[in-house]
Structure 1
Amino acid sequence: MSVTSSDSPAASELAASPPRRRRKLQAWEWAPYVFISPFFILFLVFGLFPLLFSMWLAFQTWDPSTGLQGMEWVGIENFKFVLEDDWFQKSLYNTFWIAIVSGLPQHLVAIPLAYFAHTYLRKHRNAVVGVYFLPFITSTVAIALVWNSLFSRDFGVINMALTSIGNFSIAGLHPLAWLFPTTNVDWAQPQYTKWMISSLVFWRYVGWNTVLYLSALQTIPRDLYEAATIDGASSRQQFWHITVPLLRPMMFFAVTLTIIGNLQLFEEPFIITGGTGGINQAGKTAAMHMYNTAFVDSDFGTASAVAWILFVIIGLMTWANNKFFAQKD
């Protein structure tokens, strides 16, 4: 006669055993959770909650002076208004203009500079790279004050150099008003404002990219260069066929940081222009437009819509950069 599963000893022991109770954690077992709780609390309060609140606020019209009860649901009207706003379109154009003019040369200069320091400046490499990295850790306010002095209309070194050239100068015999309008419109042309801001951004971040590329160069095995030298490859051929291909991962990382940073550019143009954007707001970026919309116009709903549109643009640009640097099989 066959024995059923209910008659087996294991089944009888299982049926006879009392139900398991959930074990309570001892006091000492709570310690790891207590130690890591500050991070999660700070993240929830200052990270996740503002993110979700901004997303909710993008579909509202709200003046903070009226309190939370002053919110009014408007749906996607804020996004429609932002996309059709001429000032936002101009600020977005300024942002892309400055990002391209200041961002692309950073890498075109940083890669050869890092390669030169890695190859020919072995003894004094750290000192030279430290000098190039110094602008990155310098206060933005201090740098902006120096740049305002350099580009001052009446006493700036740049205008003195331009006017000293005479008729060959782009300014003729008159100093340029790089930032603020004057009574003479010939002296104040808005396109020069973006060049001024771009020069500052380039000068400040080229050292940062140099350090990134230098760290990547130090991971490339020297055996590859020695083998290439034995095969008769010149320094130029080694750079293009060994260094550049092996720098692709770091190039992707550095360019991604440049895209994110330049599309969120705020500090440098804000401090240089005093928050006004310069002549005809030629130096006003999208982040500055978002700030002015929120804290000057008190329209936090529209400002949140600007923030999320910038988020989408940055995401698309990062995705395109990923596709560009993707390794082929």
Structure 2
Amino acid sequence: MSAMSRPPVITPPPLAVPVRAPRRKNELQRTWPLYLSVAPFFVLFAIFGLFPLAFSLYLSFQKWDGIGPMMYVGWNQFSYLVTDSYFWQAIVNTLEIWLLATVPMICISVVLAFLLASPLVKVKRLYHIAFFLPHITSIVAIALVFGSLFSNQFGLINALLTALGLGRVAWLSQPWGMKFAIAAMILWRTIGYHALIFMAGIQSIPTTLYEAAQIDGASSRQIFFRVTLPLLRPVMLFTVITSTISGMQVFTEPQVLLGNDGGPGRGGMTIVLYLYQQAFGSYHFGYGAAIGWGLFVLIALFSLLNWLLIQRPGARA
């Protein structure tokens, strides 16, 4: 076939490629409603959380009475904090109150949770409400009630001791009496809450383990100590550390029960109460901020301890 007889080759016109918006702009248009929906939280956190935190750090390096001009003092307030005997007394008081409250709380909460998780207990919802009510009750109201219970002269507990032929106890005048009264308030307020946490941990344990233990002839006591307690180790670690952190921030109970001075001999002076006394009682706002950051270091150390215990081999039972 000759070149003249070949059909002409028709070249198709180029396809029109649509112009697309930049990918980054499309992603921004798609995600900005999501960012807008969570923006109120971050705005409020920046105003009421981040700014006070940064200002307290700045204030800890200043000497300020709340009215006059600030005076930069550097690390002097932290140096004084380390040597302040009242601060260390507040730490010791806080730890003693924590021991008096936390050790019985854990023991009683575990037993209550084990009994509440038993199938023999009926109307469990009622017990849930009863256990949780003290946790949401006003701490000031609780402190006022316990103040009348532990009153030195007309307290109900001293009246009961007198009826039994025993002597009165100066609960709100002796150091250990004050600590015991504060610990009793914390115990009553938190025992039901932690019992519900332990009960949730018990309910997460596979029932097959209990069935196997019963088939092997284990008693309820053996099941409790050999099955329940070992498997509750992570929950118990969480409870101990969180109760320690909250115990270091005890303020309302001693403040309402004993006043801003922590009672006679400062026997009920806690760390946060000492912070309040220095900042809002003596108008040493800079030193109060330094106490707050000292408390932050202590809480961070306990948080690190929690992390180290959880990371240990076999800790995640």
TM-score, normalization by structure 2: 0.86
1:1-329 → structure 2 map (5 Å cutoff): 23=25, 30-66=32-68, 70-166=69-165, 169=166, 172=167, 175-179=168-172, 188-329=173-314
Q: Tell me, in whole angstroms, the C-alpha distance in 1 between the residues paired with 2:178 and 2:23.
A: 71
- Asked if the contact 2:237–2:306 (Cα under 8 Å) also holds between the matched residues in 1, the reply is yes
- Asked if the contact 1:193–1:279 (Cα under 8 Å) also holds between the matched residues in 2, the reply is no
Counterpart of 2:54 in structure 1: which amino acid?
L
Q: Tell me, in whole angstroms, the C-alpha distance in 1 between the residues paired with 2:267 and 2:84.
A: 16
Counterpart of 2:149 in structure 1: which amino acid?
L
Aligned alpha-carbon RMSD (Å):
2.3
Alpha-carbon shift at residue 35 of structure 1 (Å): 2.0
Counterpart of 1:59 in structure 2: which amino acid?
F
- Asked if the contact 2:65–2:284 (Cα under 8 Å) also holds between the matched residues in 1, the reply is yes
Q: Tell me, in whole angstroms, the C-alpha distance in 1 between the residues paired with 2:30 and 2:232.
A: 48
Counterpart of 1:152 in structure 2: which amino acid?
S
Alpha-carbon shift at residue 124 of structure 1 (Å): 2.6
Q: Tell me, in whole angstroms, the C-alpha distance in 1 between the residues paired with 2:149 and 2:30.
A: 61
Give the stretch that moved more between structures: 33-42 or 127-136.
Answer: 127-136
Counterpart of 1:93 in structure 2: which amino acid?
V
Alpha-carbon shift at residue 27 of structure 1 (Å): 7.0
Q: Tell me, in whole angstroms, the C-alpha distance in 2 between the residues paired with 1:310 and 1:137.
A: 25
- Asked if the contact 1:61–1:302 (Cα under 8 Å) also holds between the matched residues in 2, the reply is yes
Q: Secondary structure at the match of 2:164?
A: helix
- Asked if the contact 2:249–2:272 (Cα under 8 Å) also holds between the matched residues in 1, the reply is yes
Give the stretch that moved more between structures: 207-216 or 235-244.
Answer: 235-244
Which consecutive residues of structure 2, in runs of 5 or more, have no partner in the other structure?
Answer: 1-18
- Asked if the contact 2:81–2:291 (Cα under 8 Å) also holds between the matched residues in 1, the reply is yes
Which consecutive residues of structure 1, in runs of 5 or more, have no partner in the other structure?
Answer: 1-16, 180-187
Q: Tell me, in whole angstroms, the C-alpha distance in 1 between the residues paired with 2:105 and 2:266.
A: 25
Q: Tell me, in whole angstroms, the C-alpha distance in 2 between the residues paired with 1:161 and 1:23.
A: 75
> Do the aligned partners of residues 48 and 26 (structure 1) sit closer, same or farther apart at CA in structure 2, a change above 3 Å counting?
closer
Alpha-carbon shift at residue 28 of structure 1 (Å): 7.5
Q: Tell me, in whole angstroms, the C-alpha distance in 1 between the residues paired with 2:225 and 2:125.
A: 24
Alpha-carbon shift at residue 324 of structure 1 (Å): 3.7
Aligned length in residues: 295
Instruction: For residues 24-83 of structure 1, give each alpha carbon's deviation from its aligned partner in whole angstroms, at most 9, with x where no partner exists.
Output: 8887763333222111111111111111111122122122211xxx22222211111112
Counterpart of 2:93 in structure 1: which amino acid?
N
> Do the aligned partners of residues 224 and 294 (structure 1) sit closer, same or farther apart at CA in structure 2, a change above 3 Å counting?
same
Percentage of identical aligned residues: 40
